[in-house]
Structure formats: structure tokens, C-alpha cells
Amino acid sequence: MARINKFEDLDCWKEARNLTSKTYRIAKKMVVKKDFKLAGQLTGASLSIMNNIAEGFGNKSNAEFLRFLIYSRRSCCEVQNCLYVAMDQQYLNNIEFQKFYDHASNVRKLIDGLIRYLKKQTN
């Protein structure tokens, strides 16, 4: 594994950043229709993924980093849940929903991989 010197080196953070960028684009559609609650929930959850990865990395403790990665993982599920609402409200069609949902799943898998790695290092 390549040496990780900063949180920006983490693949899970990079993909979370891409996901967050997408959520902001979709949230703009929601704001136009004055659905501020869903827009805020979706962008907040995606931003939380990135923030928790960065904050956990900054702890310099594997145990604390693991805790924050689990928060990030939960936020991936929250994004996916919000996507259902977005699709039900016709902000996303089925194809857009699936691509977005799969992207969030991929971020979660990357986080899971890092969690497994850190657990091995801790044991």
C-alpha cells in the first residue's frame, strides 16, 4: 500500500468528494422547486462522508479513525436513502438514481476496505 500522508491521498475521500460534487448538482434542482429540506439533508449527508474521513484521519489514532470511518459509512447510507426520496419526487429518473446509488455504494466499499485494513493494523 502506498504511503498515506494526508487525507486527500485516500481513495475513499477522493470518491466521497466526487459524490459530494454530484449531490450539490442535484440539490440545485431541489432548491429551484423550494425543497430546501431534502437538498440540505442530501448535501449534508454527502459532506459528512468527506468530513468524517478527514476528521478521523486527523486523530492519528487508528481506534478514533475507525470510529469516524463508521460515521462516514452511515452517511453513505443516508445519501442512498435521500436518493429514494429524490427519485420519488422526480428529481432523478431511474437511471440517474441507479448511477448515483451505485456511486454511494462504491464509496461505502472503499471505506469498508480501509476499515478492514485499519482493524488488521490494530490487532
Q: Over the stretch 60-71, which tens digit does the pLDDT of each residue have?
A: 789 999 999 999
Cα separation, 76 vs 82, whole angstroms: 10
What is the pTM for the complete model shown? 0.92
Q: Over the stretch 24-66, which tens digit does the pLDDT of each residue have?
A: 999 998 888 899 999 999 999 999 999 999 999 998 789 999 9
| Cβ contact 54:13 at 8 Å | yes
Q: Which of 117, 98, 102, 99 is nearest to 10 (CA)?
A: 117
Cα separation, 123 vs 120, whole angstroms: 5
CATH topology of domain 11-122: de novo design (two linked rop proteins) (1.20.1440)
For the chain, which residues make up each domain, given as ranges?
Answer: 11-122
